[in-house]
């Protein structure tokens, strides 16, 4: 069983006017100079999963200039025993739309057939910057195991925004809050439970794994006010905390206050205190553990998007990464400035050379 793209087409997407790729199941090594449009290819693939993609950009920002007519990404996905035609697009900067096998679908439906993970340079500072990025990192992994996690997160965020609006307006009538707090309690407890399950799956995948990358011990810290175990308790805690939240102007308890804490297991050193190279190695280790867990539970490893993956990895670690990706059977999309960064892959990969002329990217399969 496999999860891989056999075709990918970009139309007026970012710097790519038109790009058509015919692919097999092997990893995809993408090389070319900085600014040529390599990451744009990875971003296009990331949009074949729920969410805003690896750059978290607006639909309007993805439109190729100066045409500004809109953009479209389509692909043919082998997902286990089935083949799906996927399309996503935006017109005039409007919210992106999705079709699966010719039928309109919600973005969340993509998560049931396409599991996509990514590691990009901006995540290199994951352990030393704000908790929001770590929550997103954990939620992306959680989503890969539990596709309904995306809808839970959307529902929770919507209810919380409405509750926060009431708090900012200093509304004190409890009748305005009750339904919102019930919805937040139900979805919030489910989100927390999903995250905890994902951490258990990752821990199991790291245990005893033959890998060149260091294991990370992960702990979910629920925030200073904690996270109740049941929806009933969560709803009561939200109701009892209204006076506190009115003073703050926002909701102070819930899964949006959680943080992911990581430790370099072999050394017992917090990830935030590790060297830059060690922090990168820990992230790679977690992505690989996630892929191993999905290979076991979903039936195939996810599509992996590894932008500038060679950064902070020496030649031996780079070769070890490629060996592990190939052993997993994952279709990993990897970028680098030169083909020499992928030498040890040899014919185990397919290659794409991306160049840019007068603001237009060209992707050539080699």
HSE-CB for 283 with a 13 A CA cutoff = 31
Q: Are residues 218 and 145 both part of a single domain?
A: yes
Q: Are residues 84 and 11 both part of a single domain?
A: yes
Q: Are residues 269 and 152 both part of a single domain?
A: yes
Q: Are residues 48 and 62 both part of a single domain?
A: yes
pLDDT tens track for 69-126: 899 999 999 999 999 999 999 998 899 999 999 999 999 999 999 999 999 999 999 9
Q: Which helix (H) or strand (E) holds 275?
A: none
pLDDT tens track for 221-232: 999 999 999 999
Domain count, the chain: 2
In 37-182, where do the E strands start and end? 71-79, 82-90, 97-100, 103-105, 116-119
What mean pLDDT is predicted for residues 7-30? 96
CA-CA distance, 218 to 283, in Å (whole number)? Answer: 12
CATH code, domain with 208: 1.20.1050.90
Q: Are residues 142 and 285 both part of a single domain?
A: yes
- Give residue 6's pLDDT: 98
49 within 8 A of 352, measured Cβ to Cβ? no
Mean pLDDT, rounded, of the chain:
95
Q: Are residues 98 and 135 both part of a single domain?
A: no
Residue 57's domain comprises 1-115+298-366
CA-CA distance, 207 to 217, in Å (whole number)? Answer: 10
Q: Are residues 172 and 35 both part of a single domain?
A: no
Last residue of a domain, one of 232, 265, 295: 295
What mean pLDDT is predicted for residues 22-51? 96
CB-count exposure of residue 92 (10 Å: 0-12, 13-18, 19+): exposed
- C-beta atoms surrounding 141 within 10 Å: 26
pTM of the model: 0.93
Q: Which helix (H) or strand (E) holds 66?
A: none
Residue 286 inside a domain? The answer is yes
- Give residue 208's pLDDT: 84
CATH code, domain with 11: 3.40.50.300
What mean pLDDT is predicted for residues 146-161? 96
- Give residue 195's pLDDT: 98
Q: At what angle do helices 276-297 and 315-328 cross, to 10 degrees?
A: 10
**66 compared with 79, residue with greater pLDDT:** 79
Residue 25 inside a domain? The answer is yes
State residue 116 phi and psi, 5-degree precision. Answer: -130, 130
Q: Are residues 237 and 287 both part of a single domain?
A: yes
Q: Are residues 87 and 164 both part of a single domain?
A: no
- Give residue 66's pLDDT: 78
Q: Are residues 149 and 285 both part of a single domain?
A: yes
Residue 120 inside a domain? The answer is no
Percent of the chain surpassing pLDDT 70: 100
Residue 36 inside a domain? The answer is yes
Last residue of a domain, one of 264, 295, 326: 295
Q: Are residues 285 and 310 both part of a single domain?
A: no
Q: Are residues 339 and 357 both part of a single domain?
A: yes
Diameter over CA atoms, the chain: 67
- Give residue 75's pLDDT: 98
């Amino acid at each position: 069983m496999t999860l891989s793209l056999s075709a990918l087409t970009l139309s007026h997407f970012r710097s790519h006017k038109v790009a058509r790729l015919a692919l097999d199941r092997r990893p995809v090594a993408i090389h070319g100079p900085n600014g040529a449009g390599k990451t744009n290819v990875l971003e296009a693939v990331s949009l074949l999963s729920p969410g805003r993609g690896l750059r978290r950009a607006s639909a309007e920002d993805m439109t190729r200039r100066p045409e500004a007519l809109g953009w479209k990404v389509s692909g043919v996905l082998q997902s286990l025993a089935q083949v799906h035609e996927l399309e996503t697009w935006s017109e005039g900067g409007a919210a992106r739309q999705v079709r699966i096998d010719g039928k309109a679908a919600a973005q969340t439906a993509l998560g049931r057939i396409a599991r996509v993970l990514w590691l990009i340079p901006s995540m290199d500072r994951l352990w030393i910057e704000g908790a929001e990025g770590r929550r997103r990192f954990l939620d992306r992994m959680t989503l890969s195991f539990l596709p309904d996690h995306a809808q839970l997160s959307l529902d929770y965020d919507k209810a919380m925004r409405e509750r926060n609006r009431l708090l900012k307006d200093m509304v004190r009538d409890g009748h305005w809050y009750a339904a919102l707090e019930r919805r937040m309690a139900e979805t919030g407890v489910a989100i927390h439970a999903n995250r905890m399950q994902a951490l258990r799956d990752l821990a199991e995948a790291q245990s005893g794994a033959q890998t060149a990358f260091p294991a990370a011990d992960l702990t979910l810290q629920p925030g200073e006010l904690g996270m109740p175990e049941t929806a009933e308790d969560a709803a009561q805690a939200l109701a009892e905390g209204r006076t506190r939240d009115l003073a703050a102007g926002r909701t102070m308890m819930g899964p949006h206050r959680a943080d992911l804490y990581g430790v370099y297991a072999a050394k017992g050193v917090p990830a935030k205190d590790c060297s830059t190279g060690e922090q990168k190695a820990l992230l790679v280790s977690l992505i690989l553990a996630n892929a191993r867990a999905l290979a076991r539970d979903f039936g195939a490893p996810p599509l992996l998007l590894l932008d500038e993956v060679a950064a902070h990895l020496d030649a031996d670690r780079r070769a070890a990464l490629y060996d592990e990706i190939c052993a997993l059977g994952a279709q990993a999309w990897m970028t680098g400035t030169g083909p020499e960064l992928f030498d040890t892959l040899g014919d185990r990969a397919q290659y794409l050379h991306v160049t840019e002329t007068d603001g237009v990217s060209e992707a050539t399969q080699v």
